[in-house]
Structure 1
């Protein structure tokens, strides 16, 4: 009886031992379940799904590559360089032509004449000495006796000086091209009737006394009706100051 009980206990122990071995062979806990921290056995063979907007999909955003392919919409330096300027810059043809055609006004000539001067010349009648002019400008193109004195012409300056034997300048004449747009009608409109109107060859001379010292004369050829030259004249100096 005791022997049978012992055999039953041994058989039970053997069955328990076999059950424990079977559980050990099956790996115990199921590590393939989600959350186990290990990858699924099929993860390596499933195609990867890139996230939306990732490297695998063409970008629709404003990335660097897309920006490089699109021309800038702003007023950048390159865009500005392709657009013609509308300003009156130095290289603008209309601006340049307008400046070249700009003429001196009769009123401006009168104001200069009150000081004994003509446009573009610093030397004034009644105060300038021809010695100083010759030293600064060099020898005149022509230097001849005419009328009440000697006249020296500087063609490159468009100016002629009348001076007496004491070298004092009494007449400054300008042949500047800016004068050639002024007509006889413009002179009369600005200054009214001339103090005297005479004829010298083909020129009609309009003389206006601008003050006690100076006269302003306009020489207008009949064939053009436009000013050829002007003269700022000091009558009291048109004499030989070296005479006894």
Structure 2
């Protein structure tokens, strides 16, 4: 996993440098008649319609494959959380079909939510951008909480859980550096793109993030904490 991250980081940096040098005029890209700036970037780089079509097709196929894996990942996360009794209707989401041996209910719900979110772009681009930005803020917050908990145990001198891979003596420094990077990104993820904010240019993900956080806390206080079983407890019980 670490090797794949390193390879992708180097490849991504090279791709970023290449795109920056072949980008062309940014205003022309944003106002492209195709409606998709990335297509205009491909055309500026290749100056060929067949080349642009080929690169676009490769990107579409790659994103389609990524969507399938993302839906599979989301469904497994939904199922595992329902298995731990951490969601409403946990019995429905945590059901595994005996014949197929897969959580079909979780898969179909994840697929339906993905399709519905994709259709939002037809009615409102602002709403879709808010949802996309919300995923960034939510992902950053999950990283911050996890790394902060590990760092707190390091500061207290408490032993970490049994693990096969370790950062070694550089662990605390890497944890601190990661938090220094993630915290500003988390804050800026909720900023609007312009200083003069209007309903169309407002970054509504802050409202959505706050609403989801309030709903989650209320559900945990009223019901979740009475039914939720941490995965560690399940593992210890099986052992």
TM range (shorter): under 0.3
More helix by share: 2
Structure possessing the higher radius of gyration over alpha carbons: 1
More strand by share: 1
TM-score, normalised by the number of residues in structure 2 = 0.21
